[in-house]
């Protein structure tokens, strides 16, 4: 609404400013000046009030720009937080945060875990193979007279190399038995990571 006197206008402006906790000092000075400049120009208080407009609308302009700023910074915050959302507890849908998580997991899995585990698997197979081969070599060497006596055969006799060779082949054999399990386990981990990707990027329900 509009007012007829400066006092009414200023009182309404003040109460609106207080409503939004705005400081009234500078605002009051600006409008006081405006009234006196208008009067110098031959306008009446009523005319000036009518042209100034509704104090409610004026205060909204003071607040309006501020609240727009607050809104835009809020939406920035929302954009950022959207990236770290967890799986929605109501729908079970995987959000953008899930994808972020999978990408971070990839950095770990592809850069470190897969090469490391692959190296361990290869080492395991190589060690099993080495045990069997060296064990057999030990046994065979015991029956070959032209082979120079080894340190152990001098100390414990040639029979020791045979028994030691059998033991070493046995250890290698036990390790070899578990090679398929080790490879299966490794493949299982790779498959699980792949499934996680399919789920995350297809936006299906979280399955874990």
* The only residue of 1, 21, 25, 41 in contact with another protein, by rule CB under 8 A: 41
How far apart (Å, rounded) are the C-alpha atoms in residues 62 and 21? 11
Q: Is the dihedral of CA 83, 87, 88, 91 positive or negative?
A: positive
CB of 60 to another protein, least distance (A): 8
DSSP single-letter state for residue 93: B
Q: Which residues of 84-99 are buried (b: 16+ CB within 10 A; e: fewer)?
A: eeebeeeeeebbebbe
Tokens of 120: 């361990």
Q: 53, 96, 157, 173: which one contacts another protein (CB under 8 A)?
A: 53
- Return the residues of window 174-193 that contact another protein according to CB under 8 A: none
User: Is the separation of the CB atoms in 55 and 1 below 8 Å?
Assistant: no
26 part of the interface to another protein, by CB under 8 A: yes
149 binds another protein (CB under 8 A): no
Nearer to another protein by Cβ, of 27 and 132: the residue is: 27
Q: How far is the CB of 61 from another protein (least distance, A)?
A: 4
Given candidates 3, 6, 52, 142, which one binds another protein under the rule CB under 8 A? 52
Please give the Cα distance from 185 to 43 (Å, whole number).
91
Q: Convert residues 59-78 into a mask of x (bound to another protein by CB under 8 A) and - (unbound).
A: --xx-xx-------------
Closest CA to 109 of 184, 187, 189: 189
Binding of another protein at residue 29 (CB under 8 A)? yes
Question: With contact defined as beta carbons under 8 Å apart, do 203 and 94 qualify?
Answer: yes
Is residue 18 close enough to count as binding another protein by CB under 8 A? Answer: no
Number of chain residues interacting with another protein (CB under 8 A): 25
CB 166 within 8 A of CB 139: yes
Question: Does 57 sit near another protein (CB under 8 A)?
Answer: yes
Could you tell me the smallest distance in angstroms from the CB atom of residue 38 to another protein? 6
Chain positions contacting another protein, by CB under 8 A: 26-27, 29-34, 36-41, 51-55, 57-58, 61-62, 64-65
């Amino acid at each position: 609404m509009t007012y007829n006197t400066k006092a009414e206008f200023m009182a309404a402006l003040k109460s609106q400013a207080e409503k939004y906790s705005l400081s009234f000092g500078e605002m009051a000075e600006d409008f006081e000046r405006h009234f006196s400049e208008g009067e110098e120009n031959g306008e009446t208080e009523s005319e000036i009030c009518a042209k100034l407009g509704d104090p409610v609308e004026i205060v909204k302009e003071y607040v309006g720009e501020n609240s727009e700023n607050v809104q835009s910074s809020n939406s920035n915050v929302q954009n950022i937080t959207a990236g770290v959302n967890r799986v929605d507890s109501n729908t079970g849908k995987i959000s953008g945060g899930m994808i972020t998580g999978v990408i971070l997991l990839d950095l770990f899995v592809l850069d470190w875990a897969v090469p490391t585990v692959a190296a361990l698997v290869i080492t395991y197979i190589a060690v099993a193979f080495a045990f069997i081969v060296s064990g057999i070599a030990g046994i065979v060497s015991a029956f070959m007279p032209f082979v120079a006596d080894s340190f152990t055969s001098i100390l414990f006799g040639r029979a020791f190399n045979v028994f030691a060779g059998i033991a070493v082949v046995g250890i290698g054999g036990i390790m070899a038995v578990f090679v398929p399990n080790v490879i299966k386990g490794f493949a299982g981990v790779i498959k699980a990571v792949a499934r996680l990707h399919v789920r995350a990027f297809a936006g299906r329900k979280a399955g874990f």
